[in-house]
Structure 1
């Protein structure tokens, strides 16, 4: 299948299966999305929205749709996932694009375990949310899904939030961060709030590109954006996805062989670290419950889901909740998802619907749920 890679959104974007006529469109689409959704570009629409906090802002369809989906997940998780951490990120020292920060010792500058070299690899046998390989390594798989479903694919409903919010005490706080009017596309942020779409913008942009390609007749392909990956269809040789070791990304911690289209996302607390002005080491995964870089016993969490944006959101939530509560929370929230977590001692923890996605557990690792 045709392969391509390019830089956008401060990461490597990789595509597989897109015909030549789509390559320029893919670049243009990601460049356009970055120009509108970046927190670091002063002229982006997102920056203009943040400067208008406290007053009404009439958004374009792109910004409104991405923020509306992020806000739905914000409410569904009762604030465990939050797109409203822009001010918090600035306070922690992440006020400009990552490559301009002072990296913490040992940080290689990649945005997560599968960034940089990762996605470069869709064309070179390397990684996206791990490594993708084609060519007889697994038997042919039956493509029964496409990983392109929208918000209605989330499942799990919104009921029983108190059992799924990871200990968040004040649900009303997350519901007051912004008001969104779908009729006029007006957004009103609370005066002390700024939006940071971060990873969800990458996943949403990749999902939309895949949707357009599929509508144009591209039956099988993949789009990777750093730690986010969307697969649709299945090549005759099958997919093989290697989940990267967070400390040695050239190696696999484990692998999976999806039998259907899927969204896959990896969140890592090991990469994208910097030193703040006080000399403290921070990382980009902020816990909304504390307003600080997350403290968790998971170094990395990979979630496989029916939808790419869902995988992105749930991977962050699972990592924040840790090795015990993360897999259990995921199974309660959406039993169609699966999870692979990597503890700081290198051991693996599994949860969710592993069989659907062809994940083989090792006897030495732990199954939760």
Structure 2
């Protein structure tokens, strides 16, 4: 087995495949470095910032992979009727989240635009040849979705290289595949003390965890966290403290974990069933009660 550990995007990435060669490591490192530098909302004049600075009514040809990532995020934005949204850069900054984690106190920045309702059904139009058309001024923050896309991209590339099984882990958000030879046991950590409170046995699929505890801060004397309601632009109000989701892809995981904080249990069960997603979720509530909930056939757990 060969493994690679990298620290990028304030995240520790761990990749492991059955190999006696390390020839794959350069490709993976270069890809993660590209995503970290070009898709971050914290770096001025990168590819994402060029989209955010684009005037309304103008078009821009962008990197095919960024186009694909943004289009996928936009499709989930439409599918969830805006609850999940990649267009919340302005709103998350207004909550004091203007710098990379970790930090304890949010910072205020001068807004050079009028704050407006965050919802416009089509902020961007996706044209042919990897061109986009700016429809509305709703700046993009790809956040965890970009990390999930990066991890899924690595998995697909490694599979194309012929590796029969492997794991790509981006700070606990991971994708795993196997031809039946390999099964992983993945632990679920308590959001407060880090101790194990659950285990998942898995051969193929993806796992992601989102928590109101870790990525939280104080801003204007209020406790804030990173999970926003895409329909309102406001911080999610919920009794759910942490959600771990197991499903088929990290794209679905990223969306599903967000929805755990934005819908009640019955609504979310119905949404998953209607969407025909196979999802198992492990919920930790504020009163420290925990619960496994499955929709679909649950074969990925």
Q: TM-score under structure 1 normalisation?
A: 0.72
Gaps of 5+ in 2: 107-116
Q: Which has the higher contact order (CA 8 A, sep 6+)?
A: 1
Determine the structure 2 residue equivalent to 1:267. 210
SS of the residue corresponding to residue 263 of structure 2 reads helix
Select which of 28, 34, 37 maps to 1:35.
37
1:136-285 to structure 2, matched below 5 A, reads: 173-181=119-127, 183-233=128-178, 236=181, 238-249=183-194, 251-258=195-202, 260-276=203-219, 278-285=220-227
Q: Is the 8 A contact 2:210 2:243 kept in 1?
A: yes
Determine the structure 2 residue equivalent to 1:339. 281
Query: Bigger CA drift: 38-47 or 267-276?
Result: 267-276
C-alpha RMSD of matched pairs (Å) = 2.2
Gaps of 5+ in 1: 105-169, 359-369
Determine the structure 1 residue equivalent to 2:295. 352
2:80 matched to 1:77? yes
2:4 matched to 1:4? yes
2 CA distance for matches of 1:73 and 1:355?
21
For each residue in 1:13-46, what CA deviation from the matched residue of structure 2 results, as whole angstroms up to 9, or x when unmatched? Answer: 1112164222222211100111221111112100
For each residue in 1:200-235, what CA deviation from the matched residue of structure 2 results, as whole angstroms up to 9, or x when unmatched? Answer: 100101111111111111110010112421001167
Structure 1 residues 217 and 293: CA distance shift in structure 2, 3 A: same
Q: Is the 8 A contact 2:278 2:298 kept in 1?
A: no
- 1:298 positional shift: 0.8
SS of the residue corresponding to residue 240 of structure 1 reads strand
- 1:323 positional shift: 4.0
Q: Structure 1 or 2: larger strand share?
A: 2
Q: Is the 8 A contact 1:5 1:15 kept in 2?
A: yes
- 1:248 positional shift: 2.0
Structure 1 residues 266 and 244: CA distance shift in structure 2, 3 A: same
- 1:77 positional shift: 0.9
For each residue in 1:264-292, what CA deviation from the matched residue of structure 2 results, as whole angstroms up to 9, or x when unmatched? Answer: 1111111111222x222211111123322
- 1:2 positional shift: 2.4
Query: Bigger CA drift: 316-325 or 267-276?
Result: 316-325
- 1:329 positional shift: 2.7
SS of the residue corresponding to residue 213 of structure 1 reads helix
- 1:324 positional shift: 4.4
- 1:328 positional shift: 3.9
Determine the structure 2 residue equivalent to 1:50. 52
2 CA distance for matches of 1:331 and 1:21?
42
- 1:195 positional shift: 0.3
For each residue in 1:54-113, what CA deviation from the matched residue of structure 2 results, as whole angstroms up to 9, or x when unmatched? Answer: 1322211121111000001111111111000011111111122223x4348xxxxxxxxx
2 CA distance for matches of 1:334 and 1:33?
30
Q: Is the 8 A contact 1:12 1:225 kept in 2?
A: yes
For each residue in 1:123-178, what CA deviation from the matched residue of structure 2 results, as whole angstroms up to 9, or x when unmatched? Answer: xxxxxxxxxxxxxxxxxxxxxxxxxxxxxxxxxxxxxxxxxxxxxxx9xx452222
2 CA distance for matches of 1:355 and 1:184?
38
2:96 matched to 1:96? no
Determine the structure 1 residue equivalent to 2:257. 315
SS of the residue corresponding to residue 282 of structure 1 reads strand
Determine the structure 2 residue equivalent to 1:13. 13
1:54-73 to structure 2, matched below 5 A, reads: 54=56, 55-73=58-76
1:120-131 to structure 2, matched below 5 A, reads: none
